[in-house]
Structure 1
Amino acid sequence: MVKLRVIFISLQLQLLTLVITPVGASAQSSEEMKKIFAQAESYFLYEEFELANQLYILLDSPDNMNIKYKIGTCYLNIPGEKEKSIPFLEDAVKTASYDSKTESFKETRAPLDSYFSLAKAYMINNELEKGLNTLQTFNKLARETTSKGGMKNLEFIDQQIQACKNAIQFKANPVVFSKKTLGSDFRQGSINDNPAVSYDGNTIAYTERRGIVNVIFFSKKERGKWQPPIEITAEINAGEDCSTCSLNSDGTELFLYKTDNYDGAIYSSNYVNGAWTPIRKLNKNINTKFYESHASINADGKKLYFTSNRDGGHGNLDIYVSEKEATGDWGPAVNLGAAINTPYNEDTPFITHNDSVLYFSSEGHSSMGGYDIFKSQKIGSVWKTPSNLGYPVNSTDDDKFFQPVNNGLNAYYSMTTDYKKKDIFYLSMGITEVSQLFEIKGKFSLSDTTLAFDENYAVHLLNRTSGDTLDVGYPNKITGLYNFIVTPGEFKLVYTGIGYLSQTIDTTILQDNATLSLNIDVSLKRDTAFKKVIPPPIVYDKINLSEIPTVAAIDTSILIRNMKVNDISDRNVLDSDILYYTVQVIALHNPVDVSYFKYITDMRVMYNDVDKFYRYTTGRFMTREEAYSLRLELIRKGYPEEIFIKKVSK
């Protein structure tokens, strides 16, 4: 979804004079009004609703229902002012017509969509019966247009009618939770949004919205208390259009969304030696010519869940997952499927620490209006039907960016507190007051091997009384460690693995338990009756680097200059100066075709003006051990042993 914004500087200067002159529409010439309308339409198109509304109000008149529709729609998209849309939209529907040319300056009739906007305004203002009646009227009128070519996406009207009915039901059965603020240091701005928290709970980053300008902050927790947030917008070179998305396990990698001229893309920044690096765009498996809006990484750093409206999805924005390859870069995207993705929009996915529950926002499923927050549990490789978190966590407006912690028992969430005011809260789900949390943890092992774990090995946490599955955890792929965060209760833990005998342990945790953690180590025994089919090993062809064809010019998008590349044994480079470790595949005086390098998706070319070498490198790692693992993987896939680990510094 590529959009190019056109800004008319001379027109804006003329309009500024008109805006600050206290004259109404009747006192302005037709040409002046056309210029105001044109600029308002430009702002409206690019969703800068506050700027657009200031101009539309200059054009407001009793008989122009199209302008009233525009004003109402702008108010509907301005936080804290949405209820102001109702009187304008109530007027607009009086002349609403299917064939209204709403983008024309001469048009005075409102479009038929006015009914939909009015229904949404009623729902947001909690006038649900009015919203339902208006949607039903809109549905009837929209279907009468079939003889004229018909309106599109009529099924979405049906979905919104059901959402309104859902809202009535959810509001009659509110869910219970408690909330507390993070302190006055986190309330310096009016709108504090998108709280991203590391899995270890010790780092937070968030976005302060100042009109159309976004400012990025981060804070560290020391001795259990958040320190005053520090602005890092300039440090990471974020510009004015970045928003926080997520943090990795230990808070050293931050993912962000950047508008990128309305194209939408995902970037990341690393925390190195006490400072954040400038943001860099993720590879083409994540970012496409389409629109990407959010990304979050799982606890072990091997999976990235993100949203995109690329071709081949189930609706508009869909949720995808990408796994980290041996090169250290992100692999091909896989759609999560119809269990998660609907014909509508999904956004802001987060996976819990134990990789078992996905929290995300959706306009589909059992939404009560706009985006609602849902959760879905993963059993093996199958996602269960998502459940709505309920009211008042969700509302009839758009509800996004629910950052779960403690495997979903708690969350960081930005909520409206006053007129044009949003604060970040720490939520405790299912309880009216913050009670003591306990940890069940341990080491999952196999009696006869130390192989790396995958999704075939799991720990199921059940309610011992009801038998309901409360959570499913997966042991760390390398260490076998697992954990659950629970409130007091009676539990059953079932440990399973393909080819091994399952094991069950019952345990009880009381409110006055002597310790806050319970350690349970389990070793599964081999099931001698199980027979595993072992596929034949993959044999890779040898790769002859001397056969790489040269090219006339290097692709500048992968070219890196002004960086020092040294041998791993070079002692003249201080450890504090090393930016990262990489694997050098080949060094040549002439540029070559990078498509020749099989199994490498993140090739970067380091050029040195002194020795005139093009160094073809892959992978960016914080430790030489990770780079060494990649080197061995490439050799296994056919590359010669004459590929080397290098350290890169400024």
Structure 2
Amino acid sequence: MTKKFWMALALLGFLAICCVGAGAQTGLREVNSNLKKAEKAYATLQYELAIEHYTKVLQQQPEHLLANLKVGICYLDLVKPEKALQHLQLAYQKDPHVSEEILVLLGEAHQLLGDFDQASDFFRAELSSLSRTELWNKQYLQKRLRECESGVLLSAAPADVSITNLGAAINSPYSDYVPVLLPGDTMLLYTTRRPVTTARGKFGVVEQIHASQLRHGIWQQPELFLKPGHALPDHSVVSIAPHGNELYTYFGGKERGLYVSERTGAGWGAPERLGSPFNEGAVETSMHVTDDGKFAFFSSDRPGGYGGLDLYICYKLPEGGWSDALNLGPAINTAYDEDAPFVDVETNTLYFSSKGHDSMGGFDIFKSQIKGSVWSQAENLGVPVNSPSDDIYFSLTNDRSKAYFSSDRPGGYGRKDIYLILLK
């Protein structure tokens, strides 16, 4: 072979190395670019967008430590525990110290999947590693362990009911929640929460009230309950008075709180903020007026409660106003949040959601009956109504054969979905 041949072969080899090096540099730039975009989306809580960019990083570097950790956290926030666990386990196996919270994250993923024993193992491991001064973390983990204990007990004796997702006509890839039935049970109001991007490119969300008609046993495609020009911007539905002429909403803007809109022959009036005894706390998100119009139950974090949101009751005065509010007491309220009251006057039963009592995780739906002036100890409605996710906004039909509620349990169409309970 000639000298020229060897020189040509060497040149080809050099060019190949250069191409490989250039390709590697290009790949590294793409990884860094996607990682930067992912971190920006993660910091602004745009988890779907963050997952998109973290996934592009993982396509090129499947064992990237930070990307696996962060995409796992994103999936956990979106209540997709199977995908979360896949990435969190990979990150943990690669580096057991990848995050100070990795054991808790793994425990939370297992808990959401109903793997209560495995979840407890991770929570106990984290608990044993804490110092004596980390009191808050200890209380949090002890609460998680109690939830897992409740999950085991409740799962062993499921309630004789069936649960059905209302489907794609009602539920979306986003959040759909607070089902409220109008008189007659043939129109369903509920709140939707959708992402928006403003003209200046800022990311945000907007709440709107949707309505669906029940025809031949099927809920139809929803429409805006109040058309533009008469809409309640950023209001979410809370409840409707028994006669159907008073709509209660929650506004989360500057003048946040509970509002009421009156229906007249000309349509719905502008919402007015409720006065005393309502809206005396920093957060008051739910309210229910009984069918006889005599009592109002509502949630509030006002001073003097047991902790978090508590449930209160007031009664209608002869002149038309409301009495002072009375806390429903320790049979109902706990150191955690109680919310979303619904009262069945015929059976003297209060349904509500709580993060306390024997919840198996997040909000569970409970019931309590009043005898005389005493509420019975809250009773968990059990599995499959409740889950380790947030189960809330219980609403019973007039004939008590069905109920609706919201949940962000895995397997839904979006962040929160509306479900139907067939009671037996």
Please state if 1:87 is matched with 2:86: yes
**Structure-to-structure mapping, 1:181-580, within 5 angstroms:** 186=170, 192-198=176-182, 200-211=184-195, 212-219=205-212, 229-233=222-226, 234=228, 236-239=230-233, 241-260=234-253, 265-273=257-265, 275-283=267-275, 285-288=277-280, 290-326=282-318, 328-354=320-346, 356-406=348-398, 408-414=400-406, 418=411, 420-421=413-414, 424-429=418-423, 431=424
* TM-score normalised by L of structure 2: 0.76
Please tell me whether Structure 1 or Structure 2 has the larger radius of gyration of its CA atoms: 1
**Alpha-carbon deviation of 1:115?**
2.5
Deviation per CA, 1:117-163, whole angstroms, max 9, x where unpaired?
A: 32121111232221121111122123xx22xx324152332222122
In the other structure, the counterpart of 1:120 is: 108
Distance in 2, matches of 1:360 and 1:163, equals 18
CA distance in structure 1 between the aligned counterparts of 2:293 and 2:395, rounded to whole angstroms: 17
Tell me: CA distance 1:333–1:163, structure 2 relative to 1, closer, same or farther (3 Å): same
1:291: Cα distance to partner?
A: 1.8
2:236, 2:50 → 1: CA distance?
A: 23
Question: Which amino acid counterpart does residue 134 of structure 1 have in structure 2?
Answer: F
How far 1:257 moved relative to its partner? Answer: 2.4
Q: Quote the Cα distance in structure 1 between the aligned partners of 2:237 and 2:27.
A: 40
TM superposition shift of 1:168: 1.8
Q: Distance in 2 between matches of 1:51 and 1:332?
A: 47
For the 8 Å contact 2:362–2:391, the answer to whether it is kept is yes
- Counterpart of 2:154 in structure 1 is 170
| 1:83-141 deviation line (CA, Å, top 9, x unaligned) | 222134335667677xxxxxxxxxxx5233x3223212111123222112111112212
In structure 2, what is the Cα distance between the partners aligned to 1:110 and 1:327? 60
Q: Secondary structure at the match of 2:285?
A: strand
Q: Which residue of 2 aligns with 1:558?
A: none
Cα separation, 1, equivalents of 2:166 and 2:114: 29
Q: Which amino acid aligns with 1:85?
A: A
| Unaligned ranges ≥5, structure 2 | 1-25, 196-204
Q: Give CA deviations for 1:164-203 in whole Å, capped at 9, x if unaligned.
A: 1221222222211245677986468875432112465354
Q: Distance in 1 between matches of 2:405 and 2:250?
A: 18
- In 2, Cα distance between the equivalents of 1:288 and 1:25? 52
Q: 2:134: which partner in 1?
A: 150
- SS of the residue corresponding to residue 402 of structure 1 reads strand
Tell me how far apart the structure 2 counterparts of residues 51 and 326 of structure 1 sit (CA, whole Å).
55
- Determine the C-alpha separation between the residues in 1 that align with 2:338 and 2:27: 44
Give the 3-state SS of the residue equivalent to 1:290 in structure 2: coil
CA distance in 2, matches of 1:52, 1:285: 43
Structure 2 CA distance for partners of 1:188 and 1:169, relative to 1, 3 Å: closer
Specify the SS of the correspondent of 2:392: coil
Alignment CA distance shift 1:203-1:165 (3 Å): same
Identity of aligned residues (%): 30
Please point out which of 105, 113, 127 is paired with 1:139: 127
SS at match of 1:119: helix
Query: Is the contact made by 1:246 and 1:254 (CA closer than 8 Å) also made in structure 2?
Result: yes
Contact 1:197 1:204 in 2 (8 A): yes
How far 1:391 sits from its partner (Å)?
0.7
Q: Distance in 2 between matches of 1:389 and 1:225?
A: 26
Q: d(CA) in 1 for partners of 2:154 and 2:331?
A: 22
In structure 1, C-alpha distance between the alignment counterparts of 2:27 and 2:326, rounded to whole Å: 56
Amino acid at match of 1:428: L
| 271 and 171 in structure 1: CA distance in 2 versus 1, 3 angstrom threshold | same
Match of 1:75 in 2: 75
CA displacement, residues 591-636 of structure 1 (integer Å, 9 cap, x when unaligned): xxxxxxxxxxxxxxxxxxxxxxxxxxxxxxxxxxxxxxxxxxxxxx
Question: Between Structure 1 and Structure 2, how many residues are aligned?
Answer: 383
Shift of 1:322: 3.1
Match of 2:5 in 1: none
| Residue-by-residue CA offset, 1:524-543 (whole Å, 9 max, x unaligned) | xxxxxxxxxxxxxxxxxxxx
Task: From the two aligned structures, give the one with the greater helix fraction.
Answer: 2
Residues 538-596 of structure 1: CA distance to partner in whole angstroms, max 9, x if unpaired?
Answer: xxxxxxxxxxxxxxxxxxxxxxxxxxxxxxxxxxxxxxxxxxxxxxxxxxxxxxxxxxx
Structure 2 counterpart SS, 1:376: strand
Does the CA-based 8 Å contact 2:281-2:300 persist in structure 1? no
Q: Which residue of 1 aligns with 2:99?
A: 110
Whole-Å separation in 1 of the counterparts to 2:29 and 2:309: 42
CA contact (8 A) 1:191 1:208 kept: yes
8 Å contact from structure 1 (residues 40, 55) kept in 2:
no
Structure 1 residues 162, 252: CA separation in 2 closer, same or farther (over 3 Å shift)? same
Structure 1: which amino acid aligns with 2:243? D
Q: Distance in 2 between matches of 1:161 and 1:189?
A: 31
Instruction: Compare relative contact order (CA 8 Å, sep 6+) and give the higher one, 1 or 2.
Output: 2
Unaligned runs of 5+ in 1: 1-20, 98-108, 432-650
Are the aligned partners of 2:81 and 2:110 in contact in 1 as well (CA < 8 Å)? no
